[in-house]
Amino acid sequence: MLEPNTKAPLFTLPDQNGDMVSLASFAGKKVVLYFYPRDNTPGCTREAVGFASAYQEYQARDIVVIGVSKDSQASHLRFSTKFELPFILLSDPELEVIQSYDVWKEKKMYGKVSMGIVRSTYLIDENGIIEKVFPKVKPDAHAAEILAWLDEHDKK
């Protein structure tokens, strides 16, 4: 995982609508950049729906929410339409951004070893610096976990 207080790697990827989205275009805003394994799977759906449910609160704080997986743009479009996801989903089938954020890891499930995305999130500040890393997150409470961390952090 990348470390807090380091520069977030810049990228440009297509979103669910086929538009190119660059991290640099969000300078001056906080960005929640979350990586998830696959569209339309139970955990990933719960995580995405959690972000959708909390989206107004993220908007009120002027925070951009971006999900990234290796799924295609067409898959993202179906996923975002089906669950009415109001935020950006980026397609990274070549794993360029996924690997630059160090979330492509060896995973073990039921004794089988494979490579895949470890569900992780980076909170990037207004200057493009990684403010907080959330490794191996739990999908059900993750959107609320970030907001709670922000509430606590903003008090300091």
**Which domain, by its residues, includes 125?**
12-149
Among 149, 151, 126, 118, which residue's Cα sits nearest to residue 47? 118
Distance between CA atoms of 136 and 28, rounded to whole angstroms? 27
* Domain membership flag for residue 144: yes
Indicate whether 98 pLDDT > 70: yes
Return the H-helix or E-strand segment holding 124.
Answer: strand 120-124
What is the CATH classification number for the domain harbouring 91? 3.40.30.10
pTM above 0.85, yes or no: yes
The verdict on residue 121 lying in a domain is yes
* pLDDT tens-digit series, residues 126-143: 999 999 999 989 999 999
d(CA 122, CA 7): 11
pLDDT digits (tens, 9 = 90+) for 24-58: 999 999 999 999 999 999 999 999 999 999 999 99
Residues 75-104 have a mean pLDDT of 97
In a domain, 2, yes or no: no
Residues annotated as catalytic (active site), given as ranges: 44
Number of domains the chain is built from = 1
Has residue 156 been placed in a domain?
Answer: no
Measure CA 68 to chain center: 5
